[in-house]
Amino acid sequence: MKLVAATGNSHKLREIREILNGFEILSEADAGFFGEVEETGETFLENALLKARAVCGATGLPALADDSGLCVDALGGAPGVYSARYAEKFAPSDWDAGNNAFLLKNLQGVSDRRAYFCCAVALVFPDGRQLTAEGRAYGTILSKSRGIGGFGYDPLFYSDELGQSFAEAGEAAKNSVSHRGRALRALAEQL
């Protein structure tokens, strides 16, 4: 089955291809989509549906979108749906180092460092059918970065299940317990 991954994030695209390895996954560019979809939703699922519907409508192909982020208990669930733009006032948006530095600053002196990654995925077909799924990964926020793999908040996220940060884990290990891995495998089961 051929799907367009409705994301401009090359790291997400790589993970989606690894996790859904039985599917042919086109990038937005492969499918001729060069637009930007505004993420105006208040939940991960709303944003995933917005992106998948827009890319499916523009390309005429089934489109798969992921919306994801980090939710920190002591910050009332922030940065949540604003994870990519958390430090945009201080650093260019979606700049991982700026976001990570801002997160550490906001957690200075905080002992409860529990957090989870959440991922909602939506697959929208040209005939209007849609499938959705969600996945979570639980852990704690480290007080300094560990590891060089992954992307985004991975160096600061210590996975309870892996016993290491997502940036220390190999790709296969991260995908086996990650929010994205769980959401995409649940979606594939529905398919």
Q: Which is nearer to ligand IMP, 70 or 124 (CB)?
A: 70
Rounded to 5 degrees, φ, ψ at 141 are -90, 120
Closest CB 127 distance from ligand IMP, rounded Å: 26
C-alpha 64/C-alpha 20 separation (Å) is: 11
C-alpha 168/C-alpha 142 separation (Å) is: 12
Looking only at residues 15 through 54 of this chain, which bind ligand IMP when binding is defined by CB under 6 A? 39
For ligand IMP, which residue has the nearest CB? 152
Position among 30, 46, 88, 94 found at the interface with ligand IMP (CB under 6 A) = 94
C-alpha 142/C-alpha 132 separation (Å) is: 31
Closest CB 110 distance from ligand IMP, rounded Å: 20
**Contact between 106 and ligand IMP per CB under 6 A:** no
From the candidates 30, 66, 67, 112, give the one annotated as an active-site residue. 67
C-alpha 178/C-alpha 129 separation (Å) is: 26
Q: Which of 75, 154, 137, 139 is nearest to 110 (CA)?
A: 75
Rounded to 5 degrees, φ, ψ at 51 are -70, -45
**Contact between 83 and ligand IMP per CB under 6 A:** yes
**β-bridge partners, 141:** 157
Position among 3, 19, 72, 84 found at the interface with ligand IMP (CB under 6 A) = 84
Looking only at residues 114 through 173 of this chain, which bind ligand IMP when binding is defined by CB under 6 A? 117, 150-154, 166
Position among 16, 20, 67, 140 found at the interface with ligand IMP (CB under 6 A) = 67
Burial (CB count <10 Å: 0-12, 13-18, 19+), residue 149 = middle
Please indicate whether residue 67 is annotated as part of the active site.
Answer: yes
Interface residues with ligand IMP (CB under 6 A) are 9, 39, 67-70, 83-84, 94, 99, 117, 150-154, 166, 178, 180
Which residues carry out catalysis? 67
